[in-house]
Amino acid sequence: MNNPIEKAMEITGLSAERIAELLEVSKTTINNYRKNPGAMGIAELNKLSQETGISLDILIGGNSQISGPKLSTVYSKSAEKIEKALKYAESHIGDIENINIDDKYKLAKEEQSIALAQYKDIIGNTRINGRKPLVGALGPSDSGKSTLMNYLLGMSIIPASYTPVTTVPTYIMHISERPDVFEDNADNAIVYGRTADSSKVKFSHEMLYDKEKAGKYVIRKGNYESILKDFGTRNGAYYENETWYIDEIDIYVDSDILKEVTLVDFPGFGTGDRKEDDVSLTMDLRKFDFIFLLSPADGFQRAAEAGAFLDVLRSVSGGDSKDNIEGDLGRVFFLATHCNSIGDPGKVEEILHRGCGRLVKMMSESEKERFGIDEDNFAILENRFFGFENTVKYFCEKLNKDIEKNFPIFSRRKVEASLRSLNKICGELDDKYQEELKRVQKGKANASGQKADKKLSGDFIKNAETSLKESKRNLKISANNHKTKSESEMRNGYERTIEADNIKRIIEKKDLKNRKADIETLVNYLSAELEDTMSASLQKHGDLFAEEVNKEIANYKQNVNKELKDIGADVDMNGFDFTRAFASGLTGMFTFGALAFWVTVVATGSSAGSYFVASSVISSFTAAGVSLWGTGAALSATAALGGPVTIGIVLSILAAVAVYGVFTGTWKARVAARIVKEYEKNGVLSKYIEYIDGYWDDTNEAIVKCFDELNNQTIKYYEAATKMDDMNDEEKITSGILLEQLFKRLSEIYGEMSVITRLKENDE
């Protein structure tokens, strides 16, 4: 038999004093019950069960917590090829770096520099693309996120309570991933952040792939129990202190599930005193591979939760077939938690059905069309709704079965996509360097030539810069035109949507009643329609803009080659990647505007995939939740736009409308008029316009950086190539030998990596 008081305190996190208050007895009586559990009468046991929502069989019975899911070793086995390729690549960096090239052989030196940068980027991108799936949770405070994490881990690691506990995003990784920065073998946790007066950007998890950069953010190392106590909870010594901004806690645990995924525990939203929790979470969660959306069963998916959950669901790509849609939805789990407060599993299933139906009613028409559902038929989405209570076998077995099915499917898909992309770029680079090798060998036979005309070289640089200014000007004009059109489309969409007669039609079509829950559904639906209007407009114009970017890069390349021909320069630009040089201008940026869409379009349509972009750019995109692989890559660049703006609007409107209570008389017209008035009062349209303006302003800033970087790299490559004209024949031959040595080794390395990463039939 359990000790009922101890069991209640363990599950709820309540103190003995609080238990005494709930039972309306003294603390002395509670202490007596703790020492002598048999002294509790049936009335006290029933009251304890009612007040805590814990069933009597759990309070009295043995340890009835159910085991979490057991994942098959899909990721760890599938990723062996990636790890083998990475180890091979890292062990051969020196083969490229250690080719000793004197500075006077400028072209060979530049080719070595370009090749080495791309080689390191391939390693960095592979680590990001092939990383373990990330599993995160979103929900209000006290919804049971930490309890879920402990359930998945199979052990109590994260502090859990019925009061808000977690204050910092906490990444939980396998003990084998423990970095070598720990001095004490007992240490297994790191706190990352910045001093309060620091100008450093916020730490993101992707920075871990750059050990040197990550090391600059380390605040404390130690045992996870003390770290979480001091830095990760509201009762901690460093909670909201004036010394540090705490960005992330990483802990390393020996749990089997962590061999397959990385778990992340987030602070809950809706606490009322932590604005950063409410604003940042939905954007952060877009980079996650699996998302658990938690809401207490006795108030399932209230207004704030539904708005946040819709925002996350919006970022799920959806494909062009039923299988793709189901596969993408398999990454999302809607959980009704604390099911003991309901008791009957059948009633919980009814709550899940009503909650899913309500969520569908809130979705925009295009969202429902994308998922192939409507307000009467939404089984494909309802399959993603589960009850959760870690002591109830019925709920745990159903959830475990789905996790054990969907986690491995996605893990295999993710690793195989990364392997195919890596294999393809390695094969293409092998072919490229074989061609380069032939070109150099041919050039060695004709080493003599005329020297370049210095004046003509100066003309080339000047004309290249003129061409760049023209392309830059064309794209800035285009961005501003798209900005104007996006603003106009948003205004038109707003006027169609937030209009009294339209709102009345929606009320009648959805058969909404004069009650708070239906008013919440209505406001969430209206905001979803506005969000969809903005996303659709920006996606349409982003697609058009991506074509224009590619056109201007092609024009610039054509103009450069024409200038080279005009001045009679014997410079071969075939080895220069104009698109990659342009994209490298995004390095160090954290907002990209429409160029984020351009990158996803190019990555999806390019045989090189995301490998045409520097790893630092990939890291920034991943941190922002923008995927660069899969069918939903382009969509992810625009799906994450409104986010907290939308949620904030919904809450503001609901708060204002709720003041007036239930409407009387001609309530449909009255509520429609009130909603229109509150949207205008809250300046909702201006907020969307401001967001659109910022999007295209960020685009213009990115254009300048990217074209400047493209021009710098073009001139640098040209100067390196024409430097050979100043060499005597012997030096030209030596330069050719160095290039031959470099290209031959690169071809060998990429050829071997192509073999390592090749998928066989039994691997798929």
Tens-digit pLDDT profile for residues 496-529: 999 999 999 999 999 988 888 888 889 889 988 9
pTM: 0.78
pLDDT at 455: 54
Q: Can you tell me the distance from the alpha carbon of 315 to that of 317, in angstroms, rounded to the nearest whole number?
A: 6
| Higher pLDDT, residue 758 or 596 | 758
Locate 379 and state its tokens: 């089984």
pLDDT of 652 > 80? The answer is no
Q: Is 269 helix (H, G, I), strand (E, B) or coil?
A: strand
- At 719-728, the pLDDT tens digits run 777 766 666 7
With a pLDDT cut of 70, the percent of the chain lying above it is 79
pLDDT, tens digit, 9 for 90 and up, residues 111-168: 898 889 888 888 887 887 788 999 988 888 778 888 898 899 888 777 665 444 456 7
**Average of per-residue pLDDT values in the chain:** 80
Strands 332-337, 218-222: pairing kind: unpaired
Scanning the structure block, which residue is given the tokens 């609007």? 649
pLDDT value at position 360?
A: 93
* Neighbour tally for 322: CB within 10 Å: 10
Q: Is the pLDDT of residue 751 over 70?
A: yes
Asked if residue 712 has pLDDT above 80, the reply is yes
Distance of CA 742 to the CA centre of its chain: 37
The answer to whether 4 and 41 are in contact (CB under 8 A) is: no
Segment 464-475 shows an average pLDDT of 88
Q: Is 138 within 8 Å of 118 (Cβ atoms)?
A: no
Q: What is the mean pLDDT of residues 327-341?
A: 88
What would the two tokens of residue 162 be?
Answer: 């019925």
Tens-digit pLDDT profile for residues 181-212: 877 777 889 999 888 777 677 888 878 877 88
CA atoms of 62 and 85, how far apart (whole Å): 49
Higher per-residue confidence, 724 vs 27: 27
The model's confidence at residue 234, banded by pLDDT at 50, 70 and 90, is: low
pLDDT of residue 449: 45
> What is the length of the chain?
764
**How far is 599 from 553, CA to CA, in rounded Å?**
13
Please, what is the Cα angle at 238 between 237 and 240, to 5 degrees?
A: 125
Higher pLDDT: 311 or 92? It is: 92
Question: Per-residue pLDDT for 488 more than 90?
Answer: yes
Residue 457: band (very low, low, confident or very high) from pLDDT cuts 50, 70, 90: low
